[in-house]
Amino acid sequence: MSVRAAGPADASWVLECLTEAWGSVLVARRGQLLDASALPALVAELDGSRVGLLVLAVRAEECEVVSVSTEVLRRGVGRALIQRCVEVARAAGCRRLTLTTTDNNAVAIAFYRRLGLTLSAVRPDGVAASRRVKPSIPLHDEHGVAIVGEVDFELLL
């Protein structure tokens, strides 16, 4: 497993990955929309194939993980991406890593907690504001669970 910065040659793969994970390159959270395809990204490779993507946004002393996803589950790809993101954030002088997920995403919540991130805020009806800027956010996930709340996590660096 290796993790590297995404480059111009990854652009179409990044687009595919984001569309596969979120239905679009647009990521909505906190009622705001971000074009994840325009942000810096990290690519995880396993046996020479691209298997995971993390998109980050550095703002002053904070680094937000805008998207993290992998097609190869439970093989440490997500962990390797977050670990590299922590290194990148520290090198950029950030003091805090942040991210937002939705309350239905039990896997993501377990994953972040296992990696040592802690809950910093819960917005019980937060997805409503994000759905206003991205109406394509589904009402229910693939398991039929309603997508309603937003959950913020943080890691102090």
Q: Which residues bind ligand COA (CB under 6 A)?
A: 21, 68-70, 73-79, 101, 105, 107-108, 110-111, 114
> Closest approach of Cβ 116 to ligand COA, in Å?
11
Q: Which of 68, 39, 40, 64 is nearest to 54 (CA)?
A: 68
> Closest approach of Cβ 26 to ligand COA, in Å?
14
Partners of 151 in the beta sheet? 101, 122
Residue number with the smallest Cβ distance to ligand COA: 78
Tokens describing residue 58: 């550095």
Q: Which is nearer to ligand COA, 36 or 94 (CB)?
A: 36
Q: Which is nearer to ligand COA, 110 or 122 (CB)?
A: 110
- What's the CA gap between 87 and 81, in Å, rounded? 10
Q: Which is nearer to ligand COA, 8 or 82 (CB)?
A: 82
- What's the CA gap between 108 and 5, in Å, rounded? 23
Give Cα 67 to chain centroid, integer Å: 2
> Closest approach of Cβ 83 to ligand COA, in Å?
9
Backbone angles phi, psi at 85, to 5 degrees: -60, -40
Q: Which is nearer to ligand COA, 93 or 116 (CB)?
A: 116
